[in-house]
């Protein structure tokens, strides 16, 4: 597959994504500067984590208006696979490609720790190679508190579009396992068409056992499959 990793001013996880895709998953990949306007060469696009435009307004709110996002929206609406990680998830929500919003963490503190994620739907473009029911990977964010109105949340549940929930090592989605206060322990969702996913933890930082977990690879292996 041909992957594009978008780079915004303030991104800081683009090299992690590049390394993981090129060396761990062994796929074609190149960086895409935020002013580029042609994504036709790619099969999948990754919006990496970081602090796009310094988060000087609302997280993802400025990046949403970058020239490349017009192309990302077209790419997604044409059926292209799009994955937004952390800040990328926030940008996808701001761009209207995913429902809901991500606000300040409960306690208004930046959270950086390893978490467990329960795979809630293993039949999607992003999860079909998830051999493990629970995945371990790191997160690092100050705005991961997912929120959606009651109607949207009901749709996400009924349509099996909640792909990952924060959980214990045993797979229980408890309040204690929720690191940021996210509604319904939500860590990752997808769009109605099933080709756009947002995920707050960092699967690209869980691609080698030396990093504490290689279970993040399962998400990218699902995409390649």
- Domains within the chain, CATH numbers bracketed: 2-224 (3.40.50.880)
CB of 98 closer than 8 Å to CB of 147: no
How many Å apart are CA 76 and CA 53, to the nearest integer? 23
Q: How many CB atoms lie within 10 A of CB 135?
A: 25
Active site residue 34: no
Distances (CA, A) of 47 to 96, 183, 206: 14, 23, 17
SS3 18: helix
Distances (CA, A) of 117 to 1, 8, 100, 165: 26, 27, 20, 5
How many Å apart are CA 52 and CA 40, to the nearest integer? 24
The pLDDT assigned to 147 comes to 97
Catalytic annotation, pick one of 17, 71, 94, 202: 202
The pLDDT assigned to 58 comes to 83
pLDDT (tens digit per residue) in 49-77: 999 998 888 888 899 999 999 999 999 99
The pLDDT assigned to 107 comes to 87
The pLDDT assigned to 28 comes to 98
Residues composing the chain = 225
Instruction: List per-block mean pLDDT (blocks of 10 residues) for the chain, which spans 225 residues.
Output: 97 96 96 96 97 87 94 98 98 97 94 97 96 95 96 97 98 96 98 98 95 94 95
The pLDDT assigned to 55 comes to 83
The pLDDT assigned to 136 comes to 97
Active site residue 15: no
Could you tell me the two tokens for 27? Answer: 């796929």
CB of 102 closer than 8 Å to CB of 147: yes
The pLDDT assigned to 158 comes to 97
Q: What is the DSSP letter of 22?
A: I
Active site residue 17: no
Catalytic annotation, pick one of 14, 94, 120, 204: 204
Catalytic annotation, pick one of 86, 130, 167, 207: 86
pLDDT (tens digit per residue) in 12-51: 999 999 999 999 999 999 999 999 999 999 999 999 999 9
């Amino acid at each position: 597959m041909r992957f594009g990793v978008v780079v915004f001013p303030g991104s800081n996880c683009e090299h992690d994504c590049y390394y993981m895709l090129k060396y761990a998953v062994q796929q074609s990949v190149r960086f895409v500067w935020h002013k580029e306007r042609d994504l036709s060469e790619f099969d999948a696009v990754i919006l990496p984590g970081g602090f796009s435009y310094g988060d000087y307004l609302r997280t993802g709110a400025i990046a949403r208006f970058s020239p490349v996002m017009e192309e990302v929206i077209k790419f997604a609406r044409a059926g292209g696979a799009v994955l937004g990680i952390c800040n990328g998830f926030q940008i996808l929500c701001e761009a209207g490609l995913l429902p809901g919003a991500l606000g300040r963490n409960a306690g208004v503190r930046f959270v950086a720790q390893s978490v467990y994620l329960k795979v809630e739907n293993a039949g999607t473009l992003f999860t079909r190679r998830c051999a493990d029911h629970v995945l371990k990977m790191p997160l690092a964010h100050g705005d991961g508190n997912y929120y959606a109105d009651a109607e949207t949340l009901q749709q996400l549940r009924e349509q099996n579009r909640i792909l990952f929930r924060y959980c214990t090592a045993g797979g229980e989605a408890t309040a204690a396992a929720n690191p940021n206060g996210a509604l319904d322990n939500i860590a990752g969702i997808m769009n109605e068409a099933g080709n756009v996913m947002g995920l707050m933890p960092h699967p690209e930082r869980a691609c080698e056992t030396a990093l504490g977990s290689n279970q993040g690879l399962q998400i990218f292996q699902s995409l390649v499959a």
